[in-house]
Amino acid sequence: MWPADYQDLDFDLPDELIARYPNEPPDHARLMVINRAQQSLTHDYFFNLGNYLTAGDAIIYNATQVEERRVRLQTAGAQKTLECVFLSRSPASPHGGDAGEQWQVLMRNVRRLKDGAVLHAVNDAAYEFVLSRDEDKIYLHANRSLGPADFARIGEMPLPPYMKRAAEAKDRETYQNFFSRQIAEKDKVQGSVASPTAALHFTHELFAKLRAQGIGFYPVCLDIGYGTFAPLNQQNFATANLHAEHYFIPQATADLLQSGMGKRRIALGTTSLRAVLSFHAYGQTEGETRLFVKPGDALNGVEGLITNFHLPQSSLLLLVAAFAGRELTARAYHEAVQQRYRFFSYGDAMLII
């Protein structure tokens, strides 16, 4: 539910502006540069990002890895095939025993399946799952532990629903985070079901160019859940909470965030920004965040934001407006529609400074 007092941030998006395939090459995406002090909008391309940065600037990136967690399952005798998105591991198992693990999942058309129903992965029947429910949540107990290699074997990239197409082989590369697992503490990366899409515009050439320019790169980790696509509701606004996501801040990045070190800190994506804000809000380098940021909330620890153009009536749009200001954000989105920018995960980008 979108409250009436946020109508200034709502917008109508023509379907043809939704990017269903990436820019080729990725850094040829368009870039809208939003200067908060000057209240100005400038149109450019992502490969010119360095023109707006200076030596000593620090880009804070999300090091999470997108896992191929959209899996097709079938019932005994292949009588029915269902699509499933594995959301997160659940510590409790109603089936007992040490073998395997339990996952909370997103599944449709499961009303006729009873608890205890056995399912197998279409791509490899050796992967077996037992269905259970807890109120409105659905769980699958797997007969083995599942990691990135397992999902690569039985699943596909979980493209956002607004792309309205099946994942293709190339999406394994183009939808994967450019900075995937570029973090020393790899055990802190739990995996994501969506990509931190601001990083999709990076190429090795652009990365090398920025490093040579004296731009620093500092990792955080926020493992993105499918709740990022969920519509807002009254409870979100009443409790100021969103879906839960795991975050982790390495010590070097925490030092940067606490002291600044004389650097201009620029969050690469709203997920990186949410991790930074969670660190400041909770005072912990690791935990579970339910932080819901809206215009008027104080934002500490960053001086810039690189992000894509987000869904109407979304929490990510409100986060951008909290950083850039409501009026400037509304003007930028109106301009983006008028100038035919490409929207969402595979779309164009903005730099807010």
Confidence (pLDDT) at 105: 95
Average pLDDT score, the chain: 94
Long-range contacts of 316-319 (CB under 8 A, 24+ apart): 316/228, 316/270, 317/9, 318/6, 318/9, 318/292, 318/293, 318/294, 319/270, 319/273, 319/274, 319/293, 319/294
C-alpha dist (Å) from residue 334 to 15, 41, 43, 264: 15, 11, 14, 28
Residue 29 has pLDDT above 80, yes or no: yes
Model confidence at 262, pLDDT cuts 50, 70, 90, reads confident
Task: Name the CATH architecture for the domain at 70-156.
Answer: Beta Barrel (2.40)
CA 21 to the chain's CA centroid = 17
Chain centre to alpha carbon of residue 27: 19
pLDDT surpassing 60 at residue 93: no
Q: Residue 226 — pLDDT band, cuts 50, 70, 90? A: confident
**What mean pLDDT do residues 20-41 have?**
98
- The pLDDT of 46-61, averaged and rounded, is 98
The structural architecture, per CATH, of the domain 4-66+171-352 is 3-Layer(aba) Sandwich (3.40)
pLDDT digit string, tens, across residues 104-121: 999 988 888 999 999 999
pLDDT for 288-335, tens place per residue? 999 999 999 989 899 999 999 999 999 999 999 999 999 999 999 999
Residue matched to tokens 């980790």: 221
Distance CA 198, CA 180 (A): 13
Domain ranges of the chain: 4-66+171-352, 70-156
